[in-house]
Amino acid sequence: MDLNTKGKAEHTYDAIVVGSGISGGWAAKELCEKGLKTIVLERGHKLEHIVDYKTANSAPWELQWQNTPSRELIAQQEKQNRTGYTVRPASSYLFVDDQDHPYEEKQRFDWMRGYHTGGRSLMWGRQSYRLSPMDMESNAKEGISIPWPIKYADLAPWYDYVETFAGISGANDGLEQLPDGVFQPPMAMTPPELELKAGVEKKWKGRKVVNARVAHLTKPTAEQTALGRSSCMYRNLCIRGCPFGAYFSSQSATLKAAANTGNLTLRPHSIVHSVIYDDKAGKATGVRIIDEVTMETTEFYAKIIFLNASAVASTSILLNSKSDRFPNGMDESGSLGGYLMDHHLGVGANGYMETNLDKVQFGRRPGGFYIPRYRNFSEETGKAKYLRGFGYQGAGFRQGWSRGIEGFGADFKKELTSFGPWGISMGGFGECLPYENNRISLSPDKTDKWGLPLVVADASFKENEYAMREDMMNDAAEMLEAIGAKGINTFKQEPSIGMGIHEMGTARMGSSSKESVLNANNQVWGAENVFCTDGAAMTSAGCQNPSLTYMALTARAADFAISEMKKGNI
Ligand SMILES: Cc1cc2nc3c(=O)[nH]c(=O)nc-3n(C[C@H](O)[C@H](O)[C@H](O)COP(=O)(O)OP(=O)(O)OC[C@H]3O[C@@H](n4cnc5c(N)ncnc54)[C@H](O)[C@@H]3O)c2cc1C
Ligand code: SF4
């Protein structure tokens, strides 16, 4: 009896956070800093800041075939390789092994994941944009799906808060569709980007070309340097982990701040299976985990639980959490698992510019330019045949030896050591509407090696997204044409859900338990001490990269959770 009591006490914390990626890192920091003894349960292995970034300083010749994947590696990580750039000798160790981590695709679904401390905060592209008031109101205005239960004004102070701590380089551009924020100095635009900005803004009222906003330090604050972070060195090797802590990751920033409080316990190899719900008390008491290595099942207990395992994984945990009150998982609306969204991409144009040939860029800037949404936005930019819109990410860069020069002899050698023209390219990121039948569910009969039911994905882009893609391709070419770019080449690949690596919406926020899984403070309806603040919570997608919004939602919900705890409400 004594032993059991001790065992339970050892497994009891004030707060449990599931997952240590972008949103879990934030939950850990906020809860620890507010004095809660917090355990972060992370399914993957421990990956230490700096020392475990094993290829961060490797030269091309130190990597197999100059960083080209072998057939064996591709076979092992077939799904993770679908992007064409993630499974490389330098970065493949940060992506899951698809043989160990299978899922079912009723329709193609590219589920790109990293199971280790820090999750995808280590591999993300760091593009960081706020949603705008328009983005959070369009569901309500257009009668699509359900309205967000919160407005931009509710999130704005939390965007300020997370930007200040994370460090976002960018400029305040004064645009309604891309709200300004708390930024460190932007990275300079290259000559063709400046030409694009001047040409596009002159020709089209309402179209803007701005500096990419990226989570890189360009003028670190005292708080950031105290965490051991320093300015970006412009190496653009970020997908291998940053030894300077210059881009925002859980390791470089949030987990470190959480650990500094003395309140953090990080438990790797802890696969959360489900939330334990006490039907009598009407609240959750903890979570069940399976140890990744020993396969042992155990339980952890806490007053509050934050689910931050990423959209699909948190939704799987909720689906798996069955009790008398929730016989089909923690939801009474039927929306859990539905409304899966992602951004559709792989469409745009590129070309080259023969102006400014007396200039070259310095360093390898890990950013570029951004063209915020202009379709269906104002009178000037016109109404399209589809709902919502898209933004572009792009870059203009001086082409070097790798520009595919052919030939031999002295002339060939000379060309190899000279610069070519400026290349310029842009790719669209389009908003996807929330569709009820874009779903993930759990397999009734297939499990992985830890006995967890496999995720089954059944989702696709629809007419609205396909119609938008026409403009995404043609507008890109039209803008390059307008500035005199040569060799313009358009591209429009078949889009698939997951390829945007922005899964969202499968446990959405709403105003009633009849139509949503989470309320306006990210609490699970009926289990108000369980919070979910990753992409699952998104009621609509906008067209901006979403991780900054998960950070803001998480910091806001953690603040709310603490105040509710103090009031004795949870
Ligand atoms: C190559 C790439 C480029 C990207 N570029 C951008 C970009 O430019 N801008 C942007 O906004 N976003 C970008 N993203 C997406 C971004 O990485 C994700 O939106 C973000 O990491 C999601 O945060 P999260 O906390 O929800 O999940 P993650 O960061 O994925 O973390 C989830 C964590 O939970 C753990 N976990 C999962 N299941 C369980 C379980 N059952 N029990 C315990 N732990 C569990 C995982 O191991 C992981 O550590 C990119 C992603 C990739 C891979
Ligand atoms: S470019 Fe900057 S953020 Fe990226 S790895 Fe280099 S120093 Fe780090």
- On whether both 386 and 467 belong to a single domain, the answer is yes
Does residue 187 surpass a pLDDT of 90?
Answer: yes
Question: Do the domain assignments include residue 78?
Answer: no
Q: Quick one: average pLDDT of 364-388?
A: 91
- On whether both 471 and 358 belong to a single domain, the answer is yes
Considering only CA atoms, which residue is closest to atom 4 of ligand 1? 124
pLDDT for the residue numbered 497: 98
- pLDDT bin (cut points 50, 70, 90) of residue 402 is confident
User: What CATH number does residue 566 fall under?
Assistant: 3.50.50.60
pLDDT for the residue numbered 404: 83
Residue closest to 228 by CA, chosen among 252, 263, 207, 209: 252
- On whether both 120 and 268 belong to a single domain, the answer is yes
Q: Mean pLDDT for the chain?
A: 96
- On whether both 364 and 445 belong to a single domain, the answer is no
Q: Which atom of ligand 2 is nearest to the CA of 364?
A: 1
Considering only CA atoms, which residue is closest to atom 5 of ligand 2? 238
Measured in Å, residue 555 CA sits from the centre of ligand 1 at 17
Q: Does the beta carbon of 500 lie inside 6 Å of ligand 1? A: no
- On whether both 337 and 381 belong to a single domain, the answer is no
Measured in Å, residue 364 CA sits from the centre of ligand 2 at 9
Distance (Å, whole) CA 246 – CA 252: 8
pLDDT one-digit tens code per residue, 49-92: 999 999 999 999 999 999 999 999 999 999 999 999 999 999 99
Q: Could you give the residue ranges of the DSSP H alpha helices within 215-349?
A: 222-226, 255-260, 311-320
- On whether both 408 and 479 belong to a single domain, the answer is yes
- On whether both 374 and 439 belong to a single domain, the answer is no
Does residue 3 surpass a pLDDT of 80?
Answer: no
Structural domain of residue 204, as residue ranges? 176-212+344-430+462-496
pLDDT one-digit tens code per residue, 471-511: 999 999 999 999 999 999 999 999 999 999 999 999 999 99
Distance (Å, whole) CA 348 – CA 469: 9
Q: Which atom of ligand 2 is nearest to the CA of 240?
A: 5
Does residue 2 surpass a pLDDT of 50?
Answer: no
Question: Do the domain assignments include residue 229?
Answer: no
- On whether both 519 and 555 belong to a single domain, the answer is yes
Question: Do the domain assignments include residue 335?
Answer: yes
Lowest mean pLDDT across 119-128, 403-412, 431-440: 403-412
39: tokens are 């355990």
- On whether both 132 and 152 belong to a single domain, the answer is yes
Does residue 380 surpass a pLDDT of 90?
Answer: no
- If one counts the domains in the chain, the total is 2
Q: Quick one: average pLDDT of 260-264?
A: 98
- On whether both 508 and 561 belong to a single domain, the answer is yes
Question: Do the domain assignments include residue 322?
Answer: yes
pLDDT for the residue numbered 403: 83
Question: Do the domain assignments include residue 207?
Answer: yes
Q: Considering every ligand atom, which ligand is closest to the CA of 235?
A: 2
Question: Do the domain assignments include residue 421?
Answer: yes
Does residue 228 surpass a pLDDT of 70?
Answer: yes
Considering only CA atoms, which residue is closest to atom 47 of ligand 1? 115
Residue closest to 208 by CA, chosen among 349, 384, 375: 375
pLDDT one-digit tens code per residue, 147-184: 999 999 999 999 999 999 999 999 999 999 999 999 99
pLDDT for the residue numbered 546: 98
Considering only CA atoms, which residue is closest to atom 6 of ligand 1? 125
pLDDT for the residue numbered 1: 40
pLDDT for the residue numbered 5: 65
Span between the terminal Cα atoms of the chain, in Å: 28
Measured in Å, residue 243 CA sits from the centre of ligand 2 at 8
Measured in Å, residue 411 CA sits from the centre of ligand 1 at 48
Question: Do the domain assignments include residue 539?
Answer: yes
- On whether both 138 and 255 belong to a single domain, the answer is yes
Measured in Å, residue 544 CA sits from the centre of ligand 2 at 22
pLDDT for the residue numbered 4: 62
- On whether both 543 and 406 belong to a single domain, the answer is no
pLDDT for the residue numbered 293: 98
Q: Considering every ligand atom, which ligand is closest to the CA of 121?
A: 1
pLDDT for the residue numbered 410: 94
Distance (Å, whole) CA 401 – CA 384: 42
Report the share of the chain in percent with pLDDT over 90.
Answer: 93
Q: Does the beta carbon of 126 lie inside 6 Å of ligand 1? A: yes
